[in-house]
Structure 1
């Protein structure tokens, strides 16, 4: 009986941690710990693959999102497939979404340097006007006001650009210095660096986006409501109902590769981790 109990206990630990990616298992890809986001019930449960090509070092992560492949939270009643009924606005109550996405631990506050390298295949097809995000800065706190994305790196009008949600429900494009075009990103790696200070003080907050040490986008102002923050990577679709099969054709599967998922307290520390 004692042996059976030990086996069951170990199994529970293993199953309970299977949604996590331990940073020790992928040091050259990330210095964070990642957990599947809203993934229970998805058709493709293993939507992340570790690959050796394309990769900036020995390994990278391949993320696949099947058409309309939605899931729900492991705990609670939030679902990407259906509205939970507590909010008449679908955008706040769930539904009309799909994702193959991971969320990071630990959560953080204050000023950080964050990197993500993205490889977009030649045959990548956009699903506009459906909203597609490939990376996020998200706030989490004790109030509904604090639980929102603050920056989503979105595919928009043929570009990959940050959209800011410093005030809930408001979408700002920031100050655009240069566009990052999807067509210029195909079949090669693009490394993006964010220098951020998350603050509810509009005189202190900012998010700056760099590619090859060139400033592409700059947002200054309130960047949060006093909660803690975390990052998300992967493919996230919202407002899927905007897609019309008769007009746009068959809804495509999307594949994106990721590397250099790092977060540090200084630019110098970040550059030491980034593989070119």
Structure 2
């Protein structure tokens, strides 16, 4: 009976808007984010190819396919009117995205593997994020992204938000070009410590085991944190069909969505998917 139970909890299944843990793809429980009323309700598919292990997730975002929260009045389709800044009050957005259910504090090792198909088309000047670290607390200043993995001028890069409304690029060691990510898996690891005091927090981004970016400084306002994965567009009205052509559908594949307290535990999970990364022997575990 115990063996059967273990097998059952490793199987992926739907429970409302939630995804329970699919051990090979993730060790995190995820909920749909701002998805009520979207045209494409089942925007996540489980696929066997491309995949690092046996399975991966395919995320699809149709043009301007916005939704709203299951509860509350927040909407990607329309500003709720409480904030004059559209970026904070909702509206002008679209997404096919999931949020992690469990919130955390302190130091973490987080991985995400991304596969872009050959026909992936950018929607710049629309802002596109493929992964986020988000803060949530009891006060408004605690409810903001702290890191967004965004496409900017053909590069996928982390943008950090130590102060609400202002993003910084961190210290760039190497660029992760979108064109170099086509038709192959790219594994990204974040080593982060979230803190509100100057000098207390940090974030380091590794791509296939190599340090690409780092940031030292304030990383939050004292709240708790969670992650988001999927395709998130903001300022979609920047796309003018007469100038840029027809707004494209975007497809992105995801695998190895893991979060751990220790480096060695994360590397063990990645090895189970065939990834052997020589990740900075000088780093602490």
TM range (shorter): over 0.9
* Partner of residue 230, structure 2: 234
SS of the residue aligned with 1:187? coil
Deviation at 1:203, TM superposition (A): 1.2
- For residue 267 of structure 1, the aligned residue among 247, 258, 263 is 263
Q: How does 1:180-219 map to 2 (within 5 A)?
A: 180-219=176-215
Spell out, residue by residue over 1:165-194, the C-alpha distance to the aligned partner (whole angstroms, 9 max, x if none): 111011100010000000100000000000
Aligned residues: 259
SS of the residue aligned with 1:171? strand
* Partner of residue 16, structure 2: 18
* Partner of residue 150, structure 1: 146
Task: Give the TM-score of the pair, scaled to structure 2.
Answer: 0.90
Establish whether residue 39 from structure 1 lines up as the match of residue 46 from structure 2: no
- For residue 104 of structure 2, the aligned residue among 100, 105, 108 is 108
Q: Which moved more, 1:204-213 or 1:56-65?
A: 204-213
* Partner of residue 69, structure 1: 65
* Partner of residue 82, structure 1: 78
Deviation at 1:204, TM superposition (A): 1.2
- For residue 51 of structure 2, the aligned residue among 46, 49, 55 is 55
Aligned partners of 1:94, 1:105: CA distance in 2, in Å? 21
Spell out, residue by residue over 1:39-66, the C-alpha distance to the aligned partner (whole angstroms, 9 max, x if none): 0000000000000000000100000000
SS of the residue aligned with 1:184? helix
How large is the Cα RMSD of the aligned pairs?
0.8
Deviation at 1:259, TM superposition (A): 0.2
Spell out, residue by residue over 1:22-53, the C-alpha distance to the aligned partner (whole angstroms, 9 max, x if none): 01xx1000000000000000000000000000
Task: Give the TM-score of the pair, scaled to structure 1.
Answer: 0.93
List gaps (5 residues or longer) in structure 2.
1-13, 276-285
4+ aligned runs moved over 2 Å, structure 1: none
List gaps (5 residues or longer) in structure 1.
1-15
